[in-house]
Amino acid sequence: MMKTPITVLQELMVKFSQSPNYECVAQSGPQHLAVFEYRCAARGHVVSAKARSKKEAKQEAARLMLARLAAAGLDVPAPYAAPCSPCPPVVGDGDAVAAGCGAKSYKALLKELCQEYNLPGPEYTLEGDTGPAHARCFTARGAVGAHARIASATTKKAAQQLAAQQLYQYLRENLARLTEDFVEEDALARAHERAMERYVEARANAPHRPDLAQRVADYHLEEEQVNLGADALEAASPHAEPETELQVVAGALGLRDEWHSLPAEGGPLTLVRLVPTSPPLVFCARTREGAAAEAVSYLRLTMKFRGQK
């Protein structure tokens, strides 16, 4: 079984009666695109690496340190003695948050370049993966029209980033006169702005999460609604059926009742839901009359409590 960079570095430092020092120095990006930066210090050398998880960032920092120590003349076992090639950025779903040893998201840059100069959009495919579970090597193919590049890395996204980097640099070099007005900083800013717009939109469309800090009586009704509901109940006939009474007070509160039937042991249950309410108000009984009575009782108690505050 192949040893991880952290294990190899630890064993190497034991020979010097020392231990590498790791520190998580930064976290950036929104929660669903978080990027962690780890710093590793050993034998007077300091390196840092970023990744989408603390574990990956720490492993990458250890790998970079092994390469640095090998370059300094220490006997580092293969394959970690190989020179450290530039690490591709590791990005989130929007390809706008760059991480890794580099500071650019080449997938974002390539996409912006293609959009600005009417090139076909980049396409990425996984060509293969090899190695044990703890040390996988992924090969990805990136293509823009007839141009394609293949790259390998320890993660799918990193392999795609490398392929995107090669394609981007090829296009910039061969279309230099045509793309001389392409500003990388502006392109990355546009990509980040679009990623944040998608994030905000996704949050807006996310399922409702009730505010658990609220009291039950504060969930649904404002003071003006309480007064309207109380007036409607007072005006209702004292002999009105519960369902009619519910419709009267719900209408005064700007709510509507939705009825459903739920199969249950001993016979179906009748459910009435008042909408729109947040969190949802649902009442249940064996009959429509019983469910309506439960709803009216709740509304009476709630409005009475709110009116006494």
Q: What CATH number has the domain spanning 106-201? A: 3.30.160.20
Structural domain spans, the chain: 5-71, 106-201, 216-307
Q: Fold identical between 106-201 and 216-307?
A: yes
Cis amide linkage into residue 268, ω under 30° from 0: no
Instruction: Write the pLDDT tens digit of every residue in 217-251.
Output: 444 455 555 566 666 666 655 566 888 878 877 77
| Fold classified for 5-71 | Double Stranded RNA Binding Domain (3.30.160)
Residue 20: pLDDT over 90:
yes
Task: Choose the CATH number for 216-307 among 3.30.160.20, 3.30.70.270, 2.70.70.10, 3.40.50.280.
Answer: 3.30.160.20
Collapsing DSSP to helix, strand or coil, 113 comes out as: helix
Integer CA distances (angstroms), 207 to 13, 93, 204, 210, in order: 50, 20, 9, 10
For residue 224, the model assigns a pLDDT of 56
Contacts of 99 (CB under 8 A, 6+ apart): 35, 37, 50, 51, 52, 89, 90, 91
Collapsing DSSP to helix, strand or coil, 161 comes out as: helix
Two tokens at 178?
Answer: 């045509």
pLDDT band at 123 (very low <50, low <70, confident <90, very high): very high
Instruction: Write the pLDDT tens digit of every residue in 2-13.
Output: 678 899 999 999
Q: Are 307 and 233 in contact (CB under 8 A)?
A: no
Q: Which of 101-110, 148-157, 272-281, 291-300 has the lowest mean pLDDT?
A: 101-110
For residue 36, the model assigns a pLDDT of 86
Angle at 159 between CA 156 and CA 164, to 5 degrees: 125
Residue 96: pLDDT over 50:
no
Cα 33 from Cα 27, distance rounded (Å): 10
Two tokens at 78?
Answer: 């293969």
Cα 116 from Cα 225, distance rounded (Å): 53
pLDDT band at 40 (very low <50, low <70, confident <90, very high): very high
Nearest to 246 by CA among 306, 290, 307: 290
Residue with the bigger pLDDT between 119 and 94: it is 119
Cα 211 from Cα 215, distance rounded (Å): 9
Task: For residue 307, report the phi and psi dihedrals to the nearest 5 degrees.
Answer: -70, -20
| Region for residue 100 given its phi and psi (left: phi exceeds 0; alpha: psi -120 to 50; beta: otherwise) | left
Average pLDDT for residues 80-91, to the nearest whole number? Answer: 49
Residue 104: pLDDT over 50:
yes
For residue 225, the model assigns a pLDDT of 56
Average pLDDT for residues 110-115, to the nearest whole number? Answer: 90
